[in-house]
Amino acid sequence: MALWLADRQTDWLDPARQVALNAADFVFDIAAMPGNIYEALSDASRSEEALFNRVDQLERENLVLQAKLQQMVALRAENTRLRALMNAGPRERNDVLATEIIAVAPNPNRQIVAIDHGTDDRVFLGQPLIDSEGLLGQVIELAPDTAQVLLISDASHSVPVQIIRNSVRAIAEGTGDLNRLRIEYLSTTTDVEIGDQLVTSGLGGRFPMGYPVAKVVAVERADGERFATVWAQPLAQLSKARHGLLLFPEGTLAADTRMYSPVSTQ
């Protein structure tokens, strides 16, 4: 009980906790083995025709993405010129590192997943993790080979967001439900509608600006209440995502990163 109080109230036990986490790290590695073996076996058992079809499909998707990327480059250049005209600084850009979600932490009260990159890969506390659809969460515990990520739907998690349509800022709080976020402290007169898309606002400096977070699914304006209750659905596949991207400040990852080449986003 004293230990629990000490670890909860102070950071005296952080070194001991780190040593214990490093020692227990192998459990996550072993836990990931069946999934890796299954993937290897299913890769090996695929027929040649299925593989050719898959490559064909990926090539087509790649072509579409390349076309979109060309448009993005032109838009980015235009955006940079406009920002220069307004004397605004260049917008923050990020490097990314592909990572795999290897396990769900055995915690019935919080929503935490483990990923297969840790301090050895320069992962740091508070680092954002995204998937192809949107923001997944942030790193809260680190070991050499693994890290634990708190999902945005956890009840103790909040993320500063803004509505794309009108730039209204708000805070999206987790509810403990993987499919629901609550948007707090929007007055009943605020212009928010069902279908509005929420992106990270960049306030607080924890999450870079402009990453998709959620979509508004319900707006409740009760008579006599000062604030509306707004519910949003996370865009990231919180319960299904197998892979994610760790966001690094631009230039953090060396070009010869040993696992994956960095890809610039935004």
Partner 1 sequence: MIRVALIVLFTLIIGLLLSIWTAGLSGFPHLIDWVGLILFYWVVALPARVGLSYALLSGFSLDVLSASPLGHYALIMTLICLFGQLICLRFRKMDAVSQVALVFMVAGVARFLDVWLASFESASVAVTPPLLTAFCSALVWPLVMLVLRSFRRYHGLTEW
Residues lying near partner 1 in the complex (CB under 8 A) are found at 1-8, 13, 16-17, 20-21, 24, 27-28, 30-31, 34, 103-112, 140-141, 148, 150, 154-156, 175-176, 178, 239
Name every residue whose Cβ is closer than 8 Å to that of residue 148 and which is 6 or more positions away in sequence: 105, 112, 113, 114, 115, 139, 140, 141, 142
Least spacing, CB of residue 4 vs partner 1, in Å = 3
Triad 76, 96, 167: Cα angle to 5°: 50
Q: What's the rounded Cα separation, in Å, for the pair 101 and 241?
A: 7
Least spacing, CB of residue 235 vs partner 1, in Å = 19
Give the nearer residue to partner 1 in terms of CB position, either 3 or 85.
3
Give the nearer residue to partner 1 in terms of CB position, either 105 or 168.
105
Least spacing, CB of residue 94 vs partner 1, in Å = 25
Least spacing, CB of residue 127 vs partner 1, in Å = 15
Give the nearer residue to partner 1 in terms of CB position, either 155 or 168.
155
Name every residue whose Cβ is closer than 8 Å to that of residue 200 and which is 6 or more positions away in sequence: 135, 159, 160, 161, 162, 207, 208, 209, 210, 211, 213
Helix (H) or strand (E) holding 199: strand 197-200
Give the nearer residue to partner 1 in terms of CB position, either 6 or 77.
6
Tokens of 74: 């032109």
Least spacing, CB of residue 207 vs partner 1, in Å = 19
Task: Enter the DSSP assignment of 164.
Answer: T
200 burial (CB, 10 Å; 0-12 / 13-18 / 19+) is: buried
Give the nearer residue to partner 1 in terms of CB position, either 192 or 214.
214
Please give the full DSSP string across 57-73, using - where no structure is assigned.
HHHHHHHHHHHHHHHHH
Give the nearer residue to partner 1 in terms of CB position, either 24 or 263.
24
Name every residue whose Cβ is closer than 8 Å to that of residue 195 and which is 6 or more positions away in sequence: 215, 216
Least spacing, CB of residue 147 vs partner 1, in Å = 10
Least spacing, CB of residue 114 vs partner 1, in Å = 8
Give the nearer residue to partner 1 in terms of CB position, either 102 or 192.
102
